[in-house]
Amino acid sequence: QIKGKPFTCNVCGAGFALNTYLTRHKSIHTGEKPYKCEDCGFRFSQSGHLKRHKTIHTGEKPFKCEECGMGFTQGNLLLSH
């Protein structure tokens, strides 16, 4: 058990603070992809992954650089900018 993360994945050992996080994580191992993009049909194991993917179709770039104003679809892309 990981401190502060009492819910452990029996496949990979990853720890989670909430059981709902563990349940969501387990779909990675089962291959289950219940979340489907209505625009292109691509499927995802987690709803957050679908939400991030949808920015491809909408052109939304919610992560803005405060210095130059450049927009990014993902926060990690802004950080590496």
62 domain residue, yes or no: yes
Tell me the CA distances in angstroms from 15 to 10, 64, 72, one per residue in order.
Answer: 10, 32, 30
10 domain residue, yes or no: no
Select the more confidently predicted residue: 27 or 43: 43
Q: State the total domains in the chain.
A: 1
The string of pLDDT tens digits covering residues 30-66 is 989 999 999 999 999 889 999 989 999 999 999 999 9
Q: What pLDDT was estimated at residue 1? A: 64
> Quick one: which of 47, 20, 17, 12 has its CA closest to 32?
47
75 domain residue, yes or no: yes
The residue with tokens 């770039």 is 61
For the entire predicted model, the pTM comes to 0.65
- The CATH number covering residue 57 comes to 3.30.160.60
Q: What pLDDT was estimated at residue 28? A: 87
